[in-house]
């Protein structure tokens, strides 16, 4: 069996960055069906805008502490005083617009849960409840957006989410396994595909994709 150290990985992974390696090897592309994890990635991906993912990963624990373990119900109740305090927190990216966005998005997140039962049920509809399996040979082939992320982004904006442009949303789709964008020669490509297949057999994909569709989502 090939050593995990010498295993082939996606080209964007630096072996000199343990956090990036850990994220790639254990999380990226793995299907997520937990609302708190969805909210975590929404917060972190918005924080990344204009920055590198490695910076965000370094501050991940700081974000976990600052944003109540990524509990959207708690974050939705953050006051102006709490927001101001967070702008002074060195454990996170101290961008007031991004902090305010996290609070605003928490409130919108709760509204989606109220309407659809869970954010997970809502978001997986944009890929019909099934992971989109791509077959990329090089990092250059991986797109920054897709038709699905365009539609998803538009719907999120209509629900008053912010920092949810199509590029950010596509990153979310990659992170939570709505798409498998591991390169075909990456050791995680087949592992992630098997994980999704196993969850489908367990009925999780069906649970994540009820017949009801988002109010503005249209498919070609």
Q: Cβ(90)–Cβ(23) under 8 Å?
A: no
Q: What angle do CA 114, 117, 121 make, to 5 degrees?
A: 125
Read off the DSSP letter of residue 68. Answer: G
- Tokens for 175? 């992170």
The question of whether 23 is a catalytic residue gets the answer yes
- Best CA proximity match to 192, nearest among 169, 209, 175, 172: 175
Active-site hit among 45, 124, 136, 170: 45
- C-alpha 29/C-alpha 131 separation (Å) is 9
What gap in Å lies between CA 183 and CA 119, rounded to an integer? 28
**Which two structure tokens, joined as six digits, stand for 138?**
């090089």
Given the residues 53, 63, 78, 189, the one annotated as active site: 53
CA 42/CA 122 separation, integer angstroms: 14
3-state secondary structure at position 210: coil
Enter the tokens of residue 210: 């009820």
Catalytic residue among 23, 28, 122, 189: 23
Nearest to 45, CA basis, from 167, 135, 154: 167
Per the annotation, the verdict on 53 as an active-site residue is: yes
Catalytic residue numbers? 23, 45, 53
């Amino acid at each position: 069996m090939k050593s995990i150290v010498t295993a082939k990985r996606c080209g964007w992974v630096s072996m000199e960055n343990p956090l990036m390696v850990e994220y790639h090897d254990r999380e990226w592309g793995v299907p997520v069906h937990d609302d708190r994890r969805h909210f975590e990635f929404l917060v972190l991906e918005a924080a990344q805008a204009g920055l590198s993912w490695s910076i965000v990963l370094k501050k991940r624990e700081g974000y976990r502490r600052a944003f109540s373990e990524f509990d959207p119900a708690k974050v939705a109740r953050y006051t102006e005083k709490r927001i101001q305090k967070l702008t002074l927190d060195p454990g996170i990216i101290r961008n007031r617009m991004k902090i305010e966005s996290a609070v605003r998005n928490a409130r919108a997140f709760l509204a989606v849960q109220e309407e659809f039962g869970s954010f997970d049920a809502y978001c997986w509809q944009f890929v019909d409840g099934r992971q989109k399996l791509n077959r990329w040979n090089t990092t250059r082939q991986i797109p920054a957006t897709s038709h699905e992320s365009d539609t998803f982004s538009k719907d999120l904006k209509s629900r008053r989410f912010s920092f949810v442009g199509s590029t950010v949303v596509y990153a979310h789709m990659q992170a939570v396994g709505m798409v498998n964008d591991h390169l075909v020669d990456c050791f995680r490509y087949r592992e992630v595909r098997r994980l999704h297949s196993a969850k489908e057999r367990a009925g999780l994909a069906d649970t994540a994709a009820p017949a009801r569709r988002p109010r503005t989502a249209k498919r070609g």
